[in-house]
Amino acid sequence: MALVTARMPSPRKVSPSPRRSDFTSSLNDLSAKRSLRERLFPAFRRPSDRAPAAPCQCVFPCRPPCARLRFGFRGEGVTNNADRWGVCQLMILRIVGRAIAATLMSLGAAAAQDGPAELKFAHWLPADHVLHKTGFEAWARSVEAASDGSLKIVIHAAQELGRTADHYDMARDGVADFAFINPGHVPGRFPIFTAIELPFSVTDPLKGTAALDRWYRKYATQEMPDVRFCLAHVHDPGTLHARVPVATPGDVEGARVRTVSDSTHALVKALGGVPVRVPAAEAHKAIRKGAIDAVLMPWSTLSIWGVDKLATYHLDLPLYVGGYAIVMNAATYARLSPAQRKVVDAHCTTDWAVKVATGWAQDERRGHEAMLKAPGHTVHRPTGGDLKAWRDLTQPLVERWNDTLRRRGVESDSLRHGLRRELQSANAAY
């Protein structure tokens, strides 16, 4: 009986794939290639004492079975280890790429759809004041429109959220997101800003607003570091309105005069009068009861509060202007999306400062013109020696302001001259 020796088929030669990647072809040493693969993919490790795995139904042998189930691909046409490694690489890149793409798409969607934010705007003026209607309302509605509705501004008027003097702190502490402030209402707190309130500084409110806003932006972070400065403006120059004739500084001596700020308080004292702090809403009652003899106010404001019925003598001089600012809570600004911050920035500009001030300035100008023609009212405009007397008596106020800044280590002369240059450049200097 002849013995038949079974002849085992010789191993099939695997020719290199013509589609081998550069990375794969560089790994000539199979052991090095396997070591790298097993470091990256522990599931492919094959201990030497491990029994051979059952035949895999994939086109190429793999461990553990089945690579196509693990990586989710079929592997058609893959015939050798080198191609198997290349396919694995390809699938990993696909998985990572899809994850990155999904992340970027989600970020893009979040950026495109800014979350809605409701912001509180606080001020102390009555809701029927012209500045509320033509300034604040117009500004707020423009912010909302520019943000495609993602920002909503709710205006709280008439000291609804806090006292007039507290509005800066309200913005700082987040009680309000935006606040309209009168820096001169808090004595000594904002001396740089109150340079605009020195006597005989501004003749035109809108040109003066542009000059103030441009000038103060350089100092806002220094003097108002707790908030984000938005814009600044002034009202139409205010003057003296009295129950008795007033033409010279001597007519003010001993008179009780309603003041509105630290600067006007000092002005009345320099003129020999007695300054009395009275809110605008109470000025009519105070003058009717004899608590005050005169008021410092802009022209149209007289009729708003009914003071024109009692104070019928007027001094036609730009004795002072009131300076105001809109400031924002810094944390609120930081929470906004980049697109929303861009909208806020676009509404915190010199152009918008002028827009906010325009309605009030026009109303005051009409009030001035009406008072010049009003029956029963006397308007006196000093000239020559009388004008010089008024200006000379107010000069100590400039020195007082200089001393305040020097005590704080601030070079006051350069600040004041810088403001003066801005006013002259805007054709708004007296």
Which three-class secondary structure state does DSSP give residue 208? helix
Euclidean distance between CA atoms 154 and 144, whole angstroms: 10
User: Is residue 113 over pLDDT 90?
Assistant: no
User: Is residue 15 over pLDDT 70?
Assistant: no
Stretch 318-340: mean pLDDT = 98
Give me the pLDDT at residue 74, please.
42
Give the full edge-to-edge strand order of the sheet including 178-181. Answer: 151-156, 117-122, 178-181, 323-329, 227-234
pLDDT-above-70 percentage for the chain: 73
Give me the pLDDT at residue 150, please.
98
Measuring CA to CA, how many Å separate 347 from each of 137, 147, 165, 352, 379?
A: 13, 11, 24, 6, 39
| Other CB atoms within 10 Å distance of the CB of residue 239 | 20
User: Is residue 57 over pLDDT 60?
Assistant: no
Measuring CA to CA, how many Å separate 38 from each of 26, 33, 54, 63, 83?
A: 17, 9, 20, 11, 16
Give me the pLDDT at residue 75, please.
42
Cα 249 to chain centroid, rounded = 43
Stretch 183-199: mean pLDDT = 95
Between 411 and 27, the higher pLDDT residue? 411
Give me the pLDDT at residue 39, please.
54
Least confident of 55-64, 374-383, 406-415: 55-64
Give me the pLDDT at residue 8, please.
45
Domains, the chain, ordered by start: 30-105 (no CATH), 117-240+277-425 (3.40.190.170)
Between 335 and 25, the higher pLDDT residue? 335
Which three-class secondary structure state does DSSP give residue 166? helix
pLDDT tens-digit series, residues 367-401:
999 999 999 999 999 999 999 999 999 999 999 99
Would you place residue 144 in the very low, low, confident or very high pLDDT band (cuts 50, 70, 90)? very high
Which DSSP string do the residues of 289-323 spell out, in sequence order? Answer: TTS-SEEEE-HHHHHHTTGGGT--EEE-S--B--E
| DSSP code of residue 135 | I
The torsion of the CA quartet 192, 198, 201, 207, rounded to 10 degrees, works out to 50
Least confident of 63-72, 196-205, 245-254, 286-295: 63-72
Tokens of 318: 């730009």
Give me the pLDDT at residue 233, please.
99
Give me the pLDDT at residue 280, please.
87
User: Is residue 64 over pLDDT 50?
Assistant: no
Would you place residue 131 in the very low, low, confident or very high pLDDT band (cuts 50, 70, 90)? very high
Stretch 257-262: mean pLDDT = 92
> What is the SS3 string spanning 74-100?
CCCCCCCHHHHHHHHHHHHHHHHHHHH
The CA-based angle 323-267-401, given to 5 degrees, is 65
Give me the pLDDT at residue 279, please.
85
User: Is residue 428 over pLDDT 90?
Assistant: yes
Least confident of 65-74, 128-137, 167-176, 202-211: 65-74
Least confident of 35-49, 106-120, 164-178: 35-49
Give the full edge-to-edge strand order of the sheet including 274-277. Answer: 274-277, 256-259, 294-297, 239-242, 313-315, 378-380
Residue ranges in 191-280 assigned as alpha helix (H): 205-216, 220-223, 262-270
Residue ranges in 192-288 assigned as alpha helix (H): 205-216, 220-223, 262-270, 283-288
Least confident of 113-122, 246-255, 394-403: 113-122
